[in-house]
Each structure stands twice: as C-alpha cells, then as structure tokens.
Structure 1
Amino acid sequence: MSRSIIASQLDTQANQVLRERLVDHEVIDIPFGQLHVDVPADIFILRPVNIRGQRVDTPPPGWPWNLKWVQLVSSGIDFYPDWVFQGPPVTSGKGANAEHVAEFALALVFAAAKQLPELWVKDADWRLTPLAPVRGRTLGILGFGSIGQSLARKAQALGLRVLALSRPGHPIAEIPGVERAADLRELFADSDHLVLAAPLTPATRGLIDRQVLAHARPGLHLINIARGGLLDQEALLDALDSGLIARASLDVTEPEPLPAGHALYHHPRVFLSPHTSAISEDGYPAFLDAFIANFHRYREQAPLANLVDTARGY
C-alpha cells in the first residue's frame, strides 16, 4: 500500500503530532467548517458539522471523493448529517474524551454538595452554611460506556455508592461494587446525583420525560453531559418548580445554544455550561493515540475499531 494522505480538521498542534508520528504519510490541514477537500485524501478526520444551529444537509460536490475512511472527532454521531455515512466506513472518537467528561461530571457533584460558587464571600458578612457530604451518597449513571465507567471508578474512590443502568440487553461492565438498577424508575428513585451519559439515538430521544422525572428522589441533582435530546426540558422546568428536582447541571441542551431568553438561562436552580465538558487544554492526546492505532489497522487491512452503526445510532 502506498503512503496515505490524511485530511484533518484537527488544530495545527494536533496535526503536527500526526506528522511526527506518521512520518511516512502526509497530513493536510483542513479548516474547521470547510467540507471540500482539494487533495486526493484517503482519510478525512472530521469535526462536527451540524452545530450551533447550522445544518449542512447537502453533501459537498463529488462526496465522498476517493476517501477510504472517515474518522469522526466526537463519540456521538448526531452532529453529523446523514450523507457523512453514505460512503466509506466511518469510525467515531468513542472513549477519547471519557476522562475529561467524567471529571467534569464529578466536579458538578462537588459544586452541588459544597454550594460552589455560591459559598464564596465578598464582604465581612460571613454566614456559616452546612454542606452536604459526597461520601455515602448515591450516584446514578444512565449509560455505562467509557464515560460512565470512568465516572463510576472515580466516584467509588470518593466513597459514593454507584448505581448504573445501561441499555436493554447490554450488561453493566464488571466494575466491583457498581450496582445495577432494574429500570429508570429505580435509578431515579434511589439516586442523590444522577448523570445522563447515554448516547442520543432514536430509542433514547426524549427518554427522560415527565413520567420518569416523577419517580425522582426528592431533592435529586440531575446532570446531563450527554445530549440535550435525552431530556424533556419543559418537564424538567416543571420538576424544578415543584421542588422535585433540586438542581439541574446541564452541559448540553436542545438546541445548542438555547435561544435568547430561554427559561433555562434564568432558572435559579439550573446551571448551564456551553457543551464544554469534553474540551481539554491538553488537546487531543487520547484521540490521537486511538486514531493512530486504528490507522495501523487500516494500513494492515484489519477491521477498524469504533465503527459507527447508524442503525444503533452510535
């Protein structure tokens, strides 16, 4: 096999790492948002297309050109139009950002328990506030892929009880001490903090609706670091207003960004972040390691890891 040409939408630093580690091959920088590749590339490393309200439903002229493989940067596929998957094999970045996202979710647990940043003082009016413990509380996790498993291990190290629920027919990974919830009702009823970490698929869209929220343990802290489409946001607002849900920490919403004036921006018990949990100042080290391992499989004509199955939705 001749040398490969990789068209990459990663940043300049990440692309330079690829050049240094794949010295016998060519890496071409493609600006984020540019979908036309003017070089005869074999591989396209593609960042999300349908984001920030933008939709690109029509493929660029000549798609998929001469590509033999498309590598997505993200683990989910919902930010990519259908035409991306109507060509060569597509692999996802599944697991590459799991540690970052798990750390962020755990930070949200601490922020709720320790009332941060509300606790900070800016004058001499000091009021002592009892703070909730983390140790001994129950952390529920919906979705037990790489993010859920990383989060479970971190939570257990801090003394949290971990209760997890995966998709039907898929066993919970064997992590000693992790308990399996029988269903969503049990997961919501038994959790003090509950993290949504499941992929968005046709089967999971709107999964967390009024009926599910009605089973929440009073005072539940709901965390969504997965996709906004998992959650009925109007039902969440009602649950917050009724006091059933004490706090919602949302790194994701639907749409993204929410329109100006949306109630979630202003609710006193909603804490929004701009879908940033997977973004690290370290760049893409785990992603690059996984891509390069897959690149060697590609060169050896071996099966690729993390192939996307559009029927499953990830």
Structure 2
Amino acid sequence: MSLIIASQLESDFNRSLGRHPSGPTLIDVAEDEPWTAADEADILLVRPSLAWRQCAHARPDIWPGRLKWVYSASAGVDFYPDWLLEAPLVTCGRGVASEEIADYVIAAIYAYAKNLEAVTVRSRDQWTQASLGRVSGTTIGIVGLGAIGAAVARRGLALGAQVVGLRRSGAQSGISGVQHVRDLKTLVAEADHIVIAVPGTAETRHLFNEALFAGIKPGAHIINVARGSVIDQDALIDALDRGRLGFATLDVAEPEPLPEGHALYSHPRVRLTPHISSNYGLIRHRLLEKVNDDLSRFVRGEKPSDIVDPARGY
C-alpha cells in the first residue's frame, strides 16, 4: 500500500510530488484545521499557516494520530505549536532558500554601503563629488553559520570583506577564510555589517538587547533574516535614535505584520521588507527536490535530512 501524504502546499507542488516512484497518494487538508489529517495520513507536509498559530495552546486529542512523519516546508519550526514536535519524526526545509537569502543579505549590504539613490543627480547644479561607502575591506559578522550563514560567508569573502562568524555550538564552520570569534559581544564590536541567521527559539529571544547594542561598533549595519524575536525592537529603535547603530535592514519582525503606525515602518534608518528574502515563489523546485529525495530515503528505511530536535526547537 502506498503512503498517504496530506499536504498544505499548492496543487501544482502536490501533483509533482505524487509522481514520486513510490506512488504516494496525495490528499488535501482542511485549511482551518490541518492537523486533522493525522487521522488518515502517514506524512503531513505543512507550511506556516495562521491555523497553526491559532491552535498554539490546545493539543488536539487526535494528534499525532497515525502520522509517521511531519515535514515542515519552512526551515524554522517556531511558528508551529510545541505539540507538533510530538510527532514520531519532524523534518524541515532547511537549506532550500539559503542562496536566495544570502543574495538578499549582500544586496542589503551594498544598498547601505553605496546608497546610490542618495548620490543620484537630477539637475546640473547637483553635479558634485560625493563619497561612497565600501564593502571590500569591511568586516561582515555572521551570527549563525548554518546554511544561510555559510552562503553569506562565501559571498562576503569573494567580495573582499573580512568575515567573522559565531556558531552557537562553538564548532568551526569549515569555510576557509572565516575567522571564528569566541562570543557575540566580540563579534558586534568588530563588525561593520552584522547578519543574524539563527533559529527563533526561547534561547535566542531578544539575543540582541539593550546591553548588546551598547557594545556594538558605532555606525554598524544590522541585517536580520532570522526571526523578529531575536531582536528587542524597542532597544533597536533606541540604538538607532541615539546614533549608536547606523542602519537596520529587517526582513522579519515581531509580530508579522507589525501593527499599523509602528515606528519601524517609517524610521529613516530602517529598511523593512515583508519576510520575502527567501524568494519563496521562485524556489519551489528546490523544495520539491528536497522532499522527493527525503521521501526516497524514508521508503528505503533511511533517515531523511534535517531532522528537528524537539529539545532544541530546530
């Protein structure tokens, strides 16, 4: 009998997955209660829909039902309720969007360093010399050297920047040219551009706080492509207002979307984008390749990639 896969993803994706050599049966899920598929599916393929957030505190009696495996299309699992991790096996889409997100980071670095809009002339009397910032010779600090951080590091090194990195595990990244620092305080004191690429967990909540901003390199540019919860947003705004921090590029916030009128929408030293750095719509084929490969491993009795550790939350 073929595996039954209940999927929250779009119909084109599901049709393609249904052509896997194992011949799985794809079924739809109830958008408002996707967990109910646990009663009839072997595998549940999920995405961070609002229904999961609304059910955060109420573990359904049905869960985990007959499920053998929950596969999160997103790299992070912090959007889902804690009880989702009670499934026998939970994996995630880690690495699928790393190259796209790294491109976003480099674009943000250049946009801040060069700021071509500010030096664009629109009349003859504006034709005057202006200094541009540099990327080569600056220091890029990366907090979290997983798939995203590693992709940023490779690009930064290729651009002639010095790259310093910090891994929570303390292990080396294996990327030649990356200098590993001993702690976060050291990294923020050295870096001109600080890239946040850590998972959103209880341990990383408000990792960037008032005390850390007090020791940051004056004029530094912070780029958050992780989770909004990693930054204390009030402390961030204060650091920007005091001129301690030069600029912030934020692709994430807490909550998402921010309430109307929030200071981050209009702050002159903030570039806020609506959680789009993954370029979601253009990399679906990469997720499909990953899911197909993991499904092949699963049917052979092997472990799929990127198993989530319930204790660590990623």
Report the TM-score, using the length of structure 2 for normalisation.
0.91
Cross-structure match for 2:2: 3
The answer to whether the 8 A contact 1:52-1:256 is kept is no
> Does 1:152 find its partner at 2:153?
yes
1:268-300 Cα distance to aligned partner (Å, 9 max, x none): 101101111113332422222221121112111
Asked whether the equivalents of residues 40 and 66 of structure 2 are also in contact (C-alpha less than 8 Å), the reply is yes
Partner residue in 1 for 2:205: 205
1:311 maps to amino acid: A
> Structure 1 residue 59: deviation in Å?
4.3
CA 56–184 in structure 1, closer or farther in 2 if over 3 Å, else same: closer
Q: CA deviation at 1:58?
A: 2.6
Q: In the alignment, does 2:134 pair up with 1:137? A: no
| Partner Cα separation in structure 2 for residue 95 and residue 205 of structure 1 | 22
- Structure 1: how far apart are the matches of 2:117 and 2:72? 35
Q: Residue 232 of structure 1 corresponds to which residue in structure 2?
A: 232
- 2:282 aligned counterpart, secondary structure: coil
Indicate if the aligned counterparts of 1:47 and 1:73 stay in contact, CA closer than 8 A: yes
The equivalences for 1:100-139 within 5 A come to: 100-120=100-120, 126-128=126-128, 129-139=130-140
Change (3 A) 1:92 1:140: same
Per the alignment, do residues 38 and 150 of structure 1 end up closer, same or farther by CA in structure 2, a change over 3 Å counting?
Answer: closer
For 1:28, the aligned partner's letter is I
Note if contact 1:136-1:160 (Cα within 8 Å) is conserved in structure 2: yes
Asked if the contact 1:32–1:47 (Cα under 8 Å) also holds between the matched residues in 2, the reply is: no
Cα drift, residue 259 of structure 1: 1.0
Determine the structure 1 residue equivalent to 2:89.
89
1:20 alignment counterpart: 19
Measure how far apart 1:170 and its partner are. Answer: 3.1
Question: CA separation in 2, counterparts of 1:121 and 1:45?
Answer: 51
Matches of 1:80 and 1:178, distance apart in 2 = 34
Tell me the SS of whatever aligns to 1:163.
strand
Cα distance in 2 between the residues matched to 1:23 and 1:56: 34
Per-residue CA deviations over 1:252-277 (Å, capped at 9, x if unaligned) read: 11111111111111211011011111
Distance change >3 Å, CA 39–CA 27, structure 1 → 2: farther
Aligned with 1:155: secondary structure?
helix
Unaligned 5+ segments in structure 1 are: none
1:195 aligned residue:
195
* 1:183-211 deviation digits (Å, cap 9, x = unpaired): 11211111111100011222211111111
Q: Distance in 1 between matches of 2:28 and 2:137?
A: 49
3-state DSSP of counterpart to 1:281: helix
Partner Cα separation in structure 1 for residue 125 and residue 7 of structure 2: 54
Q: Which whole-Å deviations, capped at 9, do the CAs of 1:155-198 have from their partners, x for residues lacking one? A: 1111111110110x431211110001121121111111110001
Report matched runs for 1:204-283 at 5 Å: 204-283=204-283
State the shift of 1:113 in Å. Answer: 1.0
The residue type paired with residue 141 of structure 1 is I
Cross-structure match for 1:308: 308
Aligned partners of 2:229 and 2:53: how far apart in 1? 14
- SS for the counterpart of 1:109 is helix
Would the aligned equivalents of 2:31 and 2:51 in 1 still touch at CA under 8 Å? no
Name the SS of the counterpart of 1:27 in structure 2. Answer: strand
Query: Do the aligned partners of residues 158 and 297 (structure 1) sit closer, same or farther apart at CA in structure 2, a change above 3 Å counting?
Result: same
TM-score (norm 1): 0.91
Question: Where is the helix percentage greater, Structure 1 or Structure 2?
Answer: 2
Structure 1 distance, partners of 2:43, 2:69, is: 5
Quote the Cα distance in structure 2 between the aligned partners of 1:92 and 1:18: 16
2:63 aligns with: 63
Quote the residue 2:165 is aligned against: 164
> Which residue number in structure 1 is paired with residue 285 of structure 2?
285
| Helix, strand or coil at the partner of 1:298 | helix
For the residues of structure 2 that align with 1:141 and 1:205, how far apart are their CA atoms? Answer: 17
**Structure 1 pair 24–106 and aligned structure 2 pair: CA distance change class (3 A):** same
